[in-house]
Structure 1
Amino acid sequence: MEKTSWLLVVVLGVMVISLLGGAEGRKSRILDESSYYDLEYSAISCRAHSASITDFGGVGDGKTLNTKAFQEAVNRLSQYASDGGAQLIVPAGQWLTGSFNLTSHFTLFLHKDAILLASQDINEWAVIDPLPSYGHGRDTSGGRYISLLFGTNLTDVIITGENGTIDGQGEIWWQKFHSKKLKYTRPYLIEIMHSDNIQISHITLVNSPSWNIHPVYSSNIIVQGITILAPVKSPNTDGINPDSCTNMRIEDNYIVSGDDCVAVKSGWDEYGINYGMPTSQLIIRRLTCISPYSAAIALGSEMSGGIQDVRAEDITAINTESGVRIKTGVGRGGFVRDVYVKGMTLHTMKWVFWMTGNYGQHADTHWDPNALPEIKGINYRDVVAENVSMAARLEGISGDPFTGICISNVTISMAKKAKKYPWTCTDIEGITSGVQPPPCQLLPDQGPEKTEMCSFPTENLAIDNIEMQRCSYRLNY
């Protein structure tokens, strides 16, 4: 995957596409062979109908507001849901827009020189109810601003392109957050709820107001080939946050973030416990992360609906606070179990392994002090890390230890100014083999011959069996 630099140099132009009969989405048209554009990409579904945002009055000058054009385009193209579906192409240009809703059997395709610019007019952002598994917003106790690209109760939705850009223009939102002037929780760039068969691939997301990609209460999801860029001190600009989702594949992504690069969630305190929808059957592979103040992969802290069967491999983190972090606390309830991590390469880290049992942020004052989380079956193997301040900080909960921890074949080179004691362990149980520097006594060494003892499943999950189609189109200029 091409790693887009932080300073995006965009060659601006306008490619006006007259697409297969225009907005009516006709399937065929005689083309002038001297002025066509071949479009090819991989997707879970190809579409029978195509149109351009320009067919609906869209203007890519960076100044004209295109919210109505985008929403009209989606609404019009939704008529083809039962006739092979439709794609909306965003050509080169800067397309200023507020939030708009997606539809089923639909593809949004961004040309390589297309930039969706999120409107900085707060009136363009509707306020919606808090998620039922959270109880209220993350920034405030009220509702939340709707995401830039939003969809609910959908099937077969694709957001893809040639690494075209979605720019959240988040600075105004970060300032409001820091000055405590937010009335509602900040919007995300992409949120898909209660949906099935979702693909988000080969686009670049920059400067999100808050989280970037948030699939929630959904299943059969592929997030692939994404570049996410945000200032490393921008607040809560998490990269990819699967939340109460099942059967999901996150692969080949490059993330520079002000928060966790991937944060796995399933609801908050009593609201998540009552909703009871875990995140499970999750694959994370070939992730590159830079996040000096957060984790490459975090599990929690909102994990009250449970997290199970997470498989992460081929993870690279550079100048990142921790490799894998489990965040929970008294009142969370739920569980994190059957986590498998294999093949991490880490450079300049504060911690390699971090488990936190005293994470204190609560949804409200009604959390249950008797709701204790279960953390069990956490496996790490084949890890190389250098310039590390502390190997591990593993802190369970008194009376509720984290159990079944397995760490094997791990080599950690400590920084020149590393902590005196590389391991801190309380209220945990587990085993290790072939780990340097030697771990704490609560993780006894089983001998060098057992360096492959920590589990990693060999059978495929269902999401790995999805075959991508090659979609080809010839479109007029």
Structure 2
Amino acid sequence: MYKKFVVSLLLVIGSCVGFAQTNWILPRVAATKFKPVNYSITKYGAVPDGHQLNTRSIQNAIDDCSKKGGGTVLVPSGLWLTGPIVLKSNVNLNLSVGATLLFTKDKTQYPLVKANWEGYDQMRNQSPISAEGATNIAITGKGIIDGNGDGWRMVKKDKLTESQWRKLVASGGVVSKDGRLWMPSEGFAKGQDMKDPGRITPDRDEAHYRSIKDFLRPNLLVLTKCDKILLEGVTFQNSPAWNLHPLMSSNITVRNIQVKNPWYAQNGDGIDLESCRNVLIENSVFDVGDDGLCIKSGRDADGRARAMPTRDVIIRGCTVYASHGGFVVGSEMSGGAKNIYVSNCTFVGSDIGLRFKTTRGRGGIVENIFIKDIYMKDIPGDAVLFDMYYMGNDPVPMEGEKRELPKVQMLPVDETTPQFRNINISNVYCNGAKKAIFIRGLPEMHVKNIKIENSVFQSDIGVDIQEASGITLNNVKVFSKNTKPVIDIINSDNIFINKFDYAKETDLLIRVAGDRTKAVTLQQTNYSNTKVKAKAELGANEKSVQIK
């Protein structure tokens, strides 16, 4: 079976016209293995009443298990209140059916530690579950891990009903001066007003970090420089910030888990693979407040200095509901990302389906991404997006929110210039999106060699391509409500569109604009459904478009 799967992938790679030659095959992810010895946390004094703090009992069970050569630490059914715990090598933390590991709201139980947040080394509160340098570790079972995130997070007023907002404000905390943001404490509000307040710099002392401690929210699970990891069966929910954050780790298997956060949860990502290698994520469900399945590799100069791309990743059979993006690369991708294979995933209600985001200053190369068999429904934003002007905003503006278009200017290319290239997307079926395809590169660094084929999009707006080169749409159907035009191309070149289908009674099929637009070809397409085939504007030459 494995050999057949490898052959299938190689055929996909071989069909990617214009792609760089690659001999990449599906990675082999080393599996965990544990001794058949059990250590129940009840034998270490843990009590499942939701009141007694069990941190010491649970940690003692983990430590004892690891020291004696490993095995399984059992969490029986019950409500187990605890502070932060640390996984150790050769330990499988197993949660029985009916078991909830509930992390305390008492922030004094979470010491400040050196950590990593959004690609930078920063001070943070210790994560509820963490490990560093551990080998052969797992969290398995049918129970729940709850981070009690509502005690940590800020909330935007626009994301709640009026009654929910009034109830939240009445509970305490601090409301921002503009009345649009609720924060859990004065310390949080102080940190919110600073730029990178948790960043570790010589001019900041311990007193500084203590004064904004509440702002330095932890991720629910952080596994740093670990090898051979298994997450299986468990529900991870209600995280203070990101849910699952493997960092500079390898041989990771994530299978049959659920990850849940309220849709309004700020920075409530599902899983963020950062500078990781040899990963399998399969048959899992994400319903979160930010990006669902996310690929990262560090931020700006820090990420480039680390120089550890996230690579050799398989994602298959996953479902993403509420999120800012179903499958996402970036925006912290300064170490690069490559050799990633995504298949048979469903996105329902994700703001954006396939989301590639970056900005000037990041640097990094994202390449050799293979995506197929993606099913989408009710996407408020773009079904497929490549954007090199990421602004750090929610992808779908709130009602009344005003945003300005970025200033377009040509800058020199250097190590801070990001790149998206050599990406193949096929068999995407989208029933409902604001825009079908949006590709926006930089004038000095186009999005390059993107192939989308055998796909059907039903959307309000069709295809928008700006500052891109080597884009292929083959056997793509876009049934958009806006037909003025269906395809809009600005300052792009070598655009090949073959066997394109669109809605009947279309006003304009394709518009080209900008004096740098050239070599646009549209062929083997039925033109009887459009009033005008092509139009050239804003400096574009009519000869830049060939209709065959």
Report what 1:99 is aligned to. Answer: 84
Match of 1:374 among 399, 419, 425: 419
One-letter amino acid matched to 2:370: Y
Render the CA deviation track for 1:245-267: whole Å, top value 9, x for unaligned: 00000111111110011111000
Match of 1:312 among 342, 345, 348: 342
CA distance in 1: counterparts of 2:249 and 2:34, whole angstroms: 21
Match of 1:255 among 268, 277, 286: 286
Report what 1:110 is aligned to. Answer: 95
Pairing 1:348–2:378 present: yes
Would you say the 8 A contact 2:369–2:422 is kept in 1?
yes
SS in 1 for 2:115: coil
Report what 2:530 is aligned to. Answer: none
Match of 1:331 among 361, 370, 378: 361
Pairing 1:272–2:300 present: no
Would you say the 8 A contact 1:88–1:109 is kept in 2?
yes
CA distance in 1: counterparts of 2:101 and 2:76, whole angstroms: 10
Match of 2:143 among 164, 167, 181: 164
**TM-score normalized by structure 1?**
0.78
Pairing 1:128–2:116 present: no
CA distance in 2: counterparts of 1:299 and 1:149, whole angstroms: 25
Would you say the 8 A contact 1:352–1:385 is kept in 2?
yes
Root-mean-square deviation (CA, aligned residues, Å) is: 2.0
Render the CA deviation track for 1:80-119: whole Å, top value 9, x for unaligned: 22xxx21100001000011111110110000010000011
SS in 1 for 2:319: strand
**TM-score normalized by structure 2?**
0.68
Report what 1:358 is aligned to. Answer: 389
One-letter amino acid matched to 2:328: A
- CA distance 1:391–1:412, change in 2 (3 Å): same
SS in 1 for 2:63: helix
One-letter amino acid matched to 2:266: P
Report what 1:232 is aligned to. Answer: 263
Render the CA deviation track for 1:208-264: whole Å, top value 9, x for unaligned: 111111111110000111111111111111111111000000111111110011111
SS in 1 for 2:302: helix
Report what 1:223 is aligned to. Answer: 254
Q: Post-superposition shift, 1:46?
A: 3.3
Match of 1:445 among 487, 490, 497: 497
CA distance in 2: counterparts of 1:286 and 1:132, whole angstroms: 28
Would you say the 8 A contact 1:197–1:219 is kept in 2?
yes
Would you say the 8 A contact 2:358–2:390 is kept in 1?
yes
- Listed as ranges, the matches of 1:295-306 within 5 Å are 295-306=325-336
Report what 1:155 is aligned to. Answer: 135
CA distance in 1: counterparts of 2:133 and 2:262, whole angstroms: 33
Would you say the 8 A contact 1:266–1:279 is kept in 2?
yes
Q: Post-superposition shift, 1:439?
A: 4.6
Match of 1:423 among 442, 463, 467: 463
One-letter amino acid matched to 1:166: I
SS in 1 for 2:497: coil
Pairing 1:291–2:343 present: no
Unmatched tracts of structure 2, length 5 or more: 1-30, 155-172, 174-180, 192-211, 394-412, 479-485, 501-548
One-letter amino acid matched to 2:496: P
Report what 1:70 is aligned to. Answer: 58
One-letter amino acid matched to 1:324: L
Q: Post-superposition shift, 1:413?
A: 1.5
Q: Post-superposition shift, 1:131?
A: 2.7
SS in 1 for 2:273: coil
Pairing 1:433–2:433 present: no
CA distance in 1: counterparts of 2:498 and 2:54, whole angstroms: 62
Q: Post-superposition shift, 1:178?
A: 4.6
Q: Post-superposition shift, 1:133?
A: 8.7
- Listed as ranges, the matches of 1:48-59 within 5 Å are 48-59=36-47
Render the CA deviation track for 1:178-198: whole Å, top value 9, x for unaligned: 524352531112111111100
Would you say the 8 A contact 2:34–2:91 is kept in 1?
no
Would you say the 8 A contact 1:133–1:275 is kept in 2?
no
Pairing 1:396–2:452 present: no
Would you say the 8 A contact 2:424–2:452 is kept in 1?
yes
One-letter amino acid matched to 1:260: D
One-letter amino acid matched to 2:450: I
SS in 2 for 1:131: strand
Would you say the 8 A contact 2:34–2:90 is kept in 1?
no
Q: Post-superposition shift, 1:130?
A: 3.4
Match of 1:411 among 452, 456, 469: 456
SS in 2 for 1:241: strand
CA distance in 1: counterparts of 2:391 and 2:352, whole angstroms: 19
Q: Post-superposition shift, 1:440?
A: 4.5
CA distance in 1: counterparts of 2:229 and 2:50, whole angstroms: 29
One-letter amino acid matched to 1:281: D
Render the CA deviation track for 1:390-435: whole Å, top value 9, x for unaligned: 1022111121101010000110112xxx24xx22211112111011
Report what 2:26 is aligned to. Answer: none
Match of 1:214 among 226, 242, 245: 245
SS in 2 for 1:68: helix
CA distance in 1: counterparts of 2:458 and 2:364, whole angstroms: 35
One-letter amino acid matched to 1:434: N
- Which is higher, the Rg of structure 1 or of structure 2? 2
Pairing 1:200–2:231 present: yes
Would you say the 8 A contact 1:133–1:272 is kept in 2?
no
CA distance in 2: counterparts of 1:126 and 1:308, whole angstroms: 36
CA distance in 1: counterparts of 2:300 and 2:96, whole angstroms: 42
Q: Post-superposition shift, 1:279?
A: 0.3
One-letter amino acid matched to 1:63: H
Deviates more, 1:92-101 or 1:370-379: 370-379
CA distance in 2: counterparts of 1:126 and 1:341, whole angstroms: 41
Pairing 1:80–2:60 present: no
Q: Post-superposition shift, 1:343?
A: 0.3
CA distance in 2: counterparts of 1:361 and 1:126, whole angstroms: 29
SS in 2 for 1:77: helix
Q: Post-superposition shift, 1:122?
A: 0.7
Pairing 1:145–2:125 present: yes
One-letter amino acid matched to 1:435: V
Q: How many residue pairs are counted as aligned between the two chains?
A: 386
One-letter amino acid matched to 2:152: W
Q: Post-superposition shift, 1:369?
A: 7.8
Pairing 1:46–2:34 present: yes
